[in-house]
Structure 1
């Protein structure tokens, strides 16, 4: 029987954006697998609730809460410096923190929304990676798992800056693979399609009706589906690197190319 990389010993896993959606589901699944989990997000009260839940179910000290804004380099350094010894060596980093804001065409989009998406989806991801990666390379062991999107592969109206940030995630992941050849560090990009979480509620600034309309009549992916993809990639034997996983619900496919037909 093949022993998977995640089953050899208890690992320390850091998940950003762990207060809801993909991040919360992923943190829960790693805890269920018996690993230590660092949950990082801005909403401390949600993280504390998750810690209580998981500690009660899987044992005390399963979870370490890290209130964190991934766009702040200073805050990242301070929080990483405060990790207790048993959580200090991160084996798996899941870069999940990210968001979409607005669905307007580029000429009508809110520039503040663009700035925030770039700061969180790009800057936050590369800062976390740069701060964690040296320790992994020194130990010659580790796995960076980035949460991208099919929006980084296929354009759609209103996806402008969001899709561009996820295209960055895709290419950054590929370039990490090139840089880290020979280090034994693995790198994976998870690229979900339509998934029902708080994603659309955030995108539409809390408008529940608009968010619900996105999923009406569909059978979308769930946060748990994405967590299973993350776990599967992490549990492959050390000599196997899953470069990317693109997944959509069965109810979703690629759209036809748009054509603007001249009238008259």
Structure 2
């Protein structure tokens, strides 16, 4: 069992719900985010429901790369090591390319990709030292295809994250004597603060708890990659990836 788990971006949405569900399964947690007031409330909620688990709270802005390494080291010390790291912190800002939204697009790229590199580096250094661990990167089904409008930069960063995961897996192929796994999770439409502006009439949207339950199931299986929820996103993801642009655009 991967007992201890660090989750970035855990103050709300998918990150907070993953913390709840993993705690219910008996995992000790290090939860990180910029908004520590929300983290403290989440910690109190979890401990009230599961007093036997340990929950450490860490203020972390993932775009502060030095802080990433510092916070990961603090969590490692506090929990006696990390068995799993979930790179979840992300941003959904952006605008159609060529409409003056460069700063928003850059901020999304720096948060979702460059900061993810720092998190992966900190996690893998620890896992290589222990010869064990599970790195989980939260991508998106939008990573399967270039996306239009405000989603262009976001989708590109999530595709980049998926490629980072695959690159690390390639590094592990010929590495002997370890128990290190790397998973890429591609969530479909799961309700969260990030996508609260998405039309709620979107029939493919599932509630946060249901969607995260499918994420946790895939994570615990330590699959290389998974589109979640499996239905409809496993088949729909392939349609999205290979359909003509006009059809693909109508799906998003």
Per the normalisation by structure 1, the TM-score is 0.81
Please report how far the alpha carbon of residue 112 of structure 1 lies from its aligned counterpart in structure 2 after TM superposition.
Answer: 1.0
Please report how far the alpha carbon of residue 78 of structure 1 lies from its aligned counterpart in structure 2 after TM superposition.
Answer: 2.7
Please report how far the alpha carbon of residue 219 of structure 1 lies from its aligned counterpart in structure 2 after TM superposition.
Answer: 4.5
Please report how far the alpha carbon of residue 246 of structure 1 lies from its aligned counterpart in structure 2 after TM superposition.
Answer: 1.1
1:188 and 2:183 correspond: yes
Structure 1 match to 2:249: none
* Residues 143-165 of structure 1: per-residue CA shift (max 9 Å, x gap): 01110001110233212211110
Structure 2 match to 1:46: 38
In the alignment, the residues of structure 1 paired with residue 201 and residue 100 of structure 2 have an alpha-carbon distance, to the nearest angstrom, of: 25
Q: What pairs up with 1:1-264 in 2 under 5 angstroms?
A: 5-6=1-2, 11-59=3-51, 62-83=54-75, 85-102=77-94, 104-158=95-149, 159-181=151-173, 182=175, 183-201=178-196, 211=197, 214-236=199-221, 241-247=222-228, 250=232, 253=236, 254=239, 257-258=244-245
Please report how far the alpha carbon of residue 28 of structure 1 lies from its aligned counterpart in structure 2 after TM superposition.
Answer: 0.7
In the alignment, the residues of structure 2 paired with residue 180 and residue 226 of structure 1 have an alpha-carbon distance, to the nearest angstrom, of: 30
Aligned residues: 236
* Residues 166-191 of structure 1: per-residue CA shift (max 9 Å, x gap): 11011111111011233321001110
* Residues 83-137 of structure 1: per-residue CA shift (max 9 Å, x gap): 37441411000111012113x4211151111111111100111101101212211
Contact 2:187 2:215 in 1 (8 A): no
In the alignment, the residues of structure 2 paired with residue 26 and residue 164 of structure 1 have an alpha-carbon distance, to the nearest angstrom, of: 24
In structure 2, relative to structure 1, the CA distance for the partners of 1:191 and 1:59 (3 Å cut) is: same
Structure with the larger helix share: 2
Per the normalisation by structure 2, the TM-score is 0.85
**Structure ID, larger Rg:** 1
In structure 2, relative to structure 1, the CA distance for the partners of 1:234 and 1:258 (3 Å cut) is: closer
Regions of 4+ moved over 6 Å: none
Structure 2, unaligned runs of 5 or more: 247-252
Please report how far the alpha carbon of residue 218 of structure 1 lies from its aligned counterpart in structure 2 after TM superposition.
Answer: 1.9
Contact 1:229 1:245 in 2 (8 A): no
